[in-house]
Structure 1
C-alpha cells in the first residue's frame, strides 16, 4: 500500500512534555494584594519579560489561526527569551473567519496575522466592501508553512477504505462517503471543494453540484466534531481536512487515532502567509509620542522587532514540522503517527476567485428549504415509459433518489393532484410541511411514495393545484428558509371546470409579495407536458421550469433546480 493511498498504520503517539501542556497547568498565586491566574510560570508575556529584567517591553501581538497558533506561541517564547531587545510577543489564537471579520470592520489592534490560507485575505476584502468599509492596508509576505488537503479516516477503518485507490473521483461518484466541515469557516474545506471541482467532469456541471448537495446534507459544527463522527459511523467515511489537522489530532493522544489518505489523483495545499497589519502607521504614532529619541539611541522599532520575529519563524522549520506543517514549498519530512513522512506533490490552492465562486455556490446549495412537493397522480401515469415500466414506477425510483439529496434540516410536505381528487378539489394534502429530520415524518413520506400507484386516476388538474399550493406555502411562510413549491407532472392542464392559464397568472400576480417569495419549480417529464405554460408559471413566481425527456431524468433536473436558486429568474 503506497504512501499516495493511505499512510502507514498508526502507532499511538507517546506523551510529550510540550510548552502548551505546561501552560495549561495553572495554579493560583498571590501577587501584591490581588489574586491572579499563574499560567506557565508567568502571568502574561509582560510578566515573563519583567522576570528577565525587562520592565517596559515592546509588545508584539500576532493573531494566528488555531491550527498554527500553538506552534507560533512556542516560537514566540523562544524569540523573546533570546532577543537582545525588550520585547514580549503575544500569539492570539483566533479562527481566520473571525479575524477576517474584525479586520474588515477596521477594529484590529494586532501587528500581524497568520491566516489558514491566502483566500481569507480576499474574503476579508469582500466583507469590508459589503460593510461599506475600505479594506485595510496589508503587507502580505510569503508563506511560513504549508499543509496538503487530505482525506482523514479512522485508523480502525482505514483498511476498508483502501481496498481501492483513494481518489476524489470516489467522492464525486458517491462510493466514498465524506464529511465536510463548514467551508464558510474552514479554508481546508473550501480548498477541498476546489480539488473536488478540479476532478469533476467539465462537461457535466451537475456532477460537482450534486456532490456539494450530498456533502451539505450534514455539516458538522467543527473539524473536531467531524473527526469524532468518523468512529461513530457504521460505514467507512472520510473527513476532508488537512494533514496538519490530522497530525494535531493524533498528537493529542485521542482514543481513536486518524490516518491521512492522500488522493492518488492529486490534491491542493494551504499556505500560511504572514500578513503585517499597518505596523508603519503604529511606528509613526509612537514616534510622535517621543519614541524617536529611543530609536536614535539604538532601540528597535516595532516593525524591526516584527521583522526579527518573522526571521525567527522562518528559521523554525523543525518546530513547525513537529507540529505537523511542511515547508512553504511542501517539502520536509514529518515524524508523526498517522501521516506520511513525505507528502505527495500538491498545487497551492491560491485561486481565490475560484474558491469564492465555489463558496457562493455552496451557500445556494445548502440554503435550508421549506418545500411543498406536489405530485401528479393522474391516470396518464399508468402509461408505459421507454423501458417498459409505467411512468409511476419510474417516478417512484427517481423520488427515492431525490429524497436522499435533502438534508434533515429541509422541511417538506406532500400533496398529490388530479381532477376531482378531493371532492371538488384537484389536490389532496397527504403530509404537512415538517422537518425531514423527524424520522416519523420521513417514514410517512416514504410510505406516500410507495402508495402512489394505488392513487392513480383522473385527469391533470394543474392550474387550480398550482395556485392552491402557492397560497398554502405563503400562509405558513418561514422567513429563515427558502419557501417553494416543487411540482412534478407528466401532462398538461385538463381540468375544464377549473381556472385557465391567464386566470392563474393574474391570481399569482395579485397575491405576489416580494417580502414572501414562493417560487414554483416545475418539472415535467414525458412527451405530453406543456413546457410553454410551465415556463410562464415559473416566470410569474420567479421559479424555474424543467423538462425531463425521460422520467429517469428527474434526479438530474432536481440538481439543476436546487443549484440555480441564486440566479433565478435569469438562469
Structure 2
C-alpha cells in the first residue's frame, strides 16, 4: 500500500473492476449503498456532504489528470460539486480536471519516480498503471475503477451492411479477417504504443489466434500479419483515428481512400461520435463473440510526499461523488458504462449496438504486463523497419553434432534457424552477417560476409540482398582449429552498429556463440563492458542480443556484455530454437525502445 489511505467508512467506486488484478488496490470494507445510507449522519457531522451554501473562500484544491475521453464527464461532476458547495474537512471541494493522454503520463512515471502536479490520475486503462508498477517508477495506489467501456469494431452504415450487421456476429479472428481481407474496407486503429484501445484490441486478436491455432509460433505469425495490415491505416492516438472517418454522408467522402470506413474503438468513443455535432455518418458496432477487451478507468492516487492529508481526503471525497447517483448519471451521459460494467440500453443504442450483437457479454480476462510487453515488441518489429547485424560463431566446436538430431552439427541447425528468422523480415528491413573465430582474417577474429543493407535492394545482376544474404548464411562453416574470439568481435561489431545507426528503425546486434572467449591476447571482459557502457546511447539504442548454444557457452559473460546495451542473453540447448529466441528477444527489446 502506498502512503495514501482512505478514511474508515469511505466508499470508493468499483465499477468495471478487473478480475485477478495484481496491483495494490485499496480494500473496500463497506459497500457503496451501506456507506451512503448508514454513513450519511457521520458525513453530515463531518461537513462532507453538499450543503448548498456558498463557499466562504476556504477550499481544498484537488488536481486530477484524466484521459481525454473521460475528462468532460469528470469536469461535469467537479462543476456540480463547486456549484453545490460540496465540502471536505469543512472546506469547499475545488477539483480541477486536466486532460492528459495516458501514454504520456505512463512514460514519465515509468522512467523514475517524479513529483507530479496532480494528486489523482485517471487513465483509460489499468494497463498504464501496471506498466508504471512493473517499471518501479512513481508509486501509485489504485482506489477502484469508476467506469468502463468495451472495445468493438465500428463501421459506417455501408460497410456495416456489407459485413452483415447487425445479425451477423464474429469472433475476433473472423472479424479481423473480414475487415482486413476486403480491399474495399478501410480499417483504422490507434497506435498500440500510444493507445490502450489499440493495444488491448491487438491483445484480443493475439489471444484468439493462440486459441485457434494451438501453436505459439503460428499464432505469433498470424498476429504479426494482422498487425502489418492494421499499421497501413494506423493513427497516432484515439482522437486522431476518429478524425479519419468520413465527415459527411456523401459518396465522395465515403469513397475517399484517405477516409476509414471502420475503426477499432471503444463503445464510448462510438457514442461520442454518434451523438456529437461534427457530422459524418453514424457508426454501427460489432461486438466480438469470444470476449471483448475493456477500458476500465482506474482511480489512481499518486503517492507523493508533498500530498497533504487534506488533499488525500479530498481525493476520497471526489471518488465518492463519482460513485453516487449524480456522478454515475454524468458518466452515463457521456457514454460510459457504470454499475460494474453492465450495459446501459440508451448508451448501447446511441453508440450503435443492436441485438444480436453480444454487447452484454462479460469481458475477457485482461492480458498480463508480460504479454503486453511482448505485443508491443512485436508491434515495434512488425511495423517499424529493422536494422540488424547477425554475428555467428564459426569456431571449430560449432562442428560438434547435436544429440538426437540425426548427426546434424550445431552449425547446420544454427544456419537453418537463422534462415527461418530471415524469412520473417520485410524488404524494408536491413540485415547483415558476420562470422568470427580466432585469427580469421589476419590478426582479426571476424569477417563481414554480407553488409547490413536493405533486403529489397538489388545488385546489378538483379539479385536481391535477401538472396545474397541467404547464400551467405548457407556458406557458414566451422573453421578447423578456430577458437572463440568473442570479445574483440563483439566490440568491433557494436562499434560499427552504433556508428551506422539508422534513425527511425529498430537497430540491434545479434551474436550467436557456443563457447567462451578463447582469445587471451585481445580485450578482457571488464574492459569490454566498460567500452560498451560508453558506446551505448539511450537516444540511439542498439540492444545486443546474445544467444548461447549449449552448456559450454559463457552465459554469465554474455549477460554482462548485453546489460549496458539494453539487450539480453539467452541459452538454447538446441540451435534450431535460435530463430524463435531471436524474435522474442527482439520483441522484448523493441518494447523498451523510445516511442
Fold equivalence (TM over 0.5)? yes
Residue of structure 1 in register with 2:493 after alignment: 473
CA distance in 2 between partners of 1:506 and 1:160 (Å): 70
Residue of structure 1 in register with 2:562 after alignment: none
Residue of structure 2 in register with 1:513 after alignment: 529
After superposition, residues 358-397 of structure 1 pair within 5 angstroms as 358-362=371-375, 364-365=377-378, 366=380, 370-373=387-390
Q: Would the alpha carbon gap of residues 184 and 414 (structure 1) be closer, same or farther in structure 2, given more than 3 Å must change? A: same
Contact 1:193 1:358 (C-alpha < 8 Å) held by counterparts: no
* TM-fit CA distance, 1:267: 1.4
Taking structure 1 as the reference length, the TM-score comes to: 0.57
Taking structure 2 as the reference length, the TM-score comes to: 0.55
After superposition, residues 93-492 of structure 1 pair within 5 angstroms as 93-98=99-104, 105-110=114-119, 112-126=120-134, 129-130=136-137, 135=139, 140-141=143-144, 143-153=145-155, 157-158=159-160, 166-170=170-174, 176=180, 181-183=190-192, 185-196=194-205, 198-199=207-208, 200-201=210-211, 204-207=215-218, 209-210=220-221, 218=231, 220-227=235-242, 240-252=264-276, 253=278, 258-274=283-299, 281-282=309-310, 307-308=320-321, 310-311=323-324, 313-316=326-329, 319-327=330-338, 328-333=340-345, 334-336=348-350, 338-340=352-354, 344-348=359-363, 354-362=367-375, 364-365=377-378, 366=380, 370-373=387-390, 398=420, 401-404=423-426, 411-413=430-432, 430-432=450-452, 447-450=464-467, 470=490, 472-478=492-498, 483-485=508-510
Provide structure 1 residue ranges, at least 5 long, that are not aligned to the other structure.
1-51, 286-300, 378-385, 493-499, 524-530
Contact 1:375 1:415 (C-alpha < 8 Å) held by counterparts: yes
Contact 1:374 1:414 (C-alpha < 8 Å) held by counterparts: yes
CA distance in 2 between partners of 1:229 and 1:413 (Å): 38
Contact 1:153 1:237 (C-alpha < 8 Å) held by counterparts: yes
* TM-fit CA distance, 1:235: 13
Residue of structure 2 in register with 1:495 after alignment: none
CA distance in 1 between partners of 2:361 and 2:148 (Å): 10
* TM-fit CA distance, 1:249: 3.9
Q: Let me know the Cα RMSD of the aligned residues.
A: 6.1
Provide structure 2 residue ranges, at least 5 long, that are not aligned to the other structure.
1-52, 182-186, 247-255, 395-405, 407-412, 537-542, 560-568
Residue of structure 2 in register with 1:536 after alignment: 553
Which structure's CA Rg is the greater one? 1
Contact 1:180 1:189 (C-alpha < 8 Å) held by counterparts: yes
Give the number of aligned pairs: 456
Aligned residue for 2:335, secondary structure, equals coil
Q: Would the alpha carbon gap of residues 213 and 482 (structure 1) be closer, same or farther in structure 2, given more than 3 Å must change? A: farther
Aligned residue for 1:476, secondary structure, equals helix
